[in-house]
Chain A
Amino acid sequence: MEFNTDTLKKYLDILDLDPDSHPTPDEIYRAYHKLETFYTSDSIVLDPLDDELDDNERILILQKLEDAFHFLNDHFKAESQEEELLGSPENVNIEIEDTLVEYVPETDWEERVSLEDHIPISIEQTNEIEPEKEIEPVITLSNEEESENHVEYITPPATIETPIEIKSIPEPPKENGTHSLENLPVNGLVFQMVREKKGLSINDLASQTGIAERDLIALEMEQFEKFQEAGDLRYFIVSLAKALSMDHLRAAEEYMKRYRQWKREHEY
Chain B
Amino acid sequence: MKSEIWAIGGGKGGTGKSFVTSSIGMNLAQQGKRVTLIDADLGGANLHTFLRMKKPKHSLTDFFESKTPLSDIIKNTDVPNLRFITGDVRSLDTTGVKYAQKLKLYRHIRNISSDYVLIDLGAGSNHDTIDSFLVADRMIAVILPEETSLDNLYLFIKKVLFRKVNRLLGDYGLRDIARKAWEERNRKEIRNIKELILYVKNISPEIRTLVEKSLADFTLYIIVNQVKNEQHIETGFATKSILQQYFELDAKYLGYIRYNEFFWKFVKDTNSFKQFSPSVSTALEIGSIVQNLMENKQLNLSQVHNGI
In the complex the two chains form, is A27's CB within 8 Å of B302's CB? yes
Nearest neighbor of B154 in chain A, beta-carbon distance: A48
Is A61 in the interface zone, CB < 8 Å from B? yes
Is B101 in the interface zone, CB < 8 Å from A? no
In the complex the two chains form, is B302's CB within 8 Å of A49's CB? no
Docked complex: B230-274 residues within 8 A CB-CB of A:
234-235, 237-242, 244-246, 253
Please pick, from A27, A38, A210, the residue contacting B238 in the complex, using a CB distance under 8 A.
A38
Is A35 in the interface zone, CB < 8 Å from B? yes
Is B186 in the interface zone, CB < 8 Å from A? no
Interface range on chain B: under 10, 10 to 19, 20 to 34, or 35 or more? 20 to 34
Docked complex: A89-144 residues within 8 A CB-CB of B:
none
Residues of A within 8 A of B194 (CB): 52
In the complex the two chains form, is A47's CB within 8 Å of B147's CB? yes
Docked complex: B184-236 residues within 8 A CB-CB of A:
191-192, 194, 205, 208, 234-235
Contacts A17-B301, A35-B241, A38-B241 given; indicate if A48 touches B150 (C-beta within 8 A).
yes
Nearest neighbor of B151 in chain A, beta-carbon distance: A48
Please pick, from B191, B234, B241, B302, the residue contacting A18 in the complex, using a CB distance under 8 A.
B302
Residues of B within 8 A of A65 (CB): 245
Please pick, from A16, A44, A49, the residue contacting B246 in the complex, using a CB distance under 8 A.
A49
In the complex the two chains form, is A49's CB within 8 Å of B154's CB? yes
In the complex the two chains form, is A52's CB within 8 Å of B192's CB? yes
Q: How far is the CA of A16 from the CA of B222 in the complex (A)?
A: 14
Residues of B within 8 A of A18 (CB): 300-303
Please pick, from B147, B244, B245, B300, the residue contacting A44 in the complex, using a CB distance under 8 A.
B147
Nearest neighbor of A43 in chain B, beta-carbon distance: B238
Nearest neighbor of B235 in chain A, beta-carbon distance: A45
Residues of A within 8 A of B242 (CB): 45-46, 49
- B235 CB to nearest A CB, Å: 6
In the complex the two chains form, is B245's CB within 8 Å of A64's CB? yes
Docked complex: A54-81 residues within 8 A CB-CB of B:
57, 61, 64-65
Is A14 in the interface zone, CB < 8 Å from B? yes
In the complex the two chains form, is A21's CB within 8 Å of B302's CB? yes
Is B146 in the interface zone, CB < 8 Å from A? yes
Q: How far is the CA of A18 from the CA of B302 in the complex (A)?
A: 7
Is A212 in the interface zone, CB < 8 Å from B? no
Q: How far is the CA of A38 from the CA of B145 in the complex (A)?
A: 15
Residue with the highest number of chain B CB atoms closer than 10 Å, among A47, A48, A53: A48
In the complex the two chains form, is A48's CB within 8 Å of B147's CB? yes
Q: How far is the CA of A21 from the CA of B238 in the complex (A)?
A: 21
Residues of A within 8 A of B191 (CB): 52
A14-38 CB mask vs B (1 if < 8 Å, else 0) is 1111110100000100110011001
Q: How far is the CA of A89 from the CA of B147 in the complex (A)?
A: 44
Residues of B within 8 A of A16 (CB): 237, 240-241, 253, 300-301
Residues of B at the A interface (CB closer than 8 Å) are 145-147, 150-151, 154, 191-192, 194, 205, 208, 234-235, 237-242, 244-246, 253, 300-303
12 example contacts (A-B, Cβ-Cβ < 8 A) are as follows A16-B241, A18-B301, A30-B301, A34-B234, A34-B301, A35-B241, A45-B150, A45-B242, A48-B151, A49-B242, A52-B194, A64-B245
Residues of A at the B interface (CB closer than 8 Å) are 14-19, 21, 27, 30-31, 34-35, 38, 43-49, 52-53, 57, 61, 64-65, 210
Q: A48-B154, A52-B191, A210-B205 are in contact. List 6 more A-B contacts (CB 8 A).
A: A35-B241, A43-B238, A45-B238, A47-B150, A49-B242, A65-B245
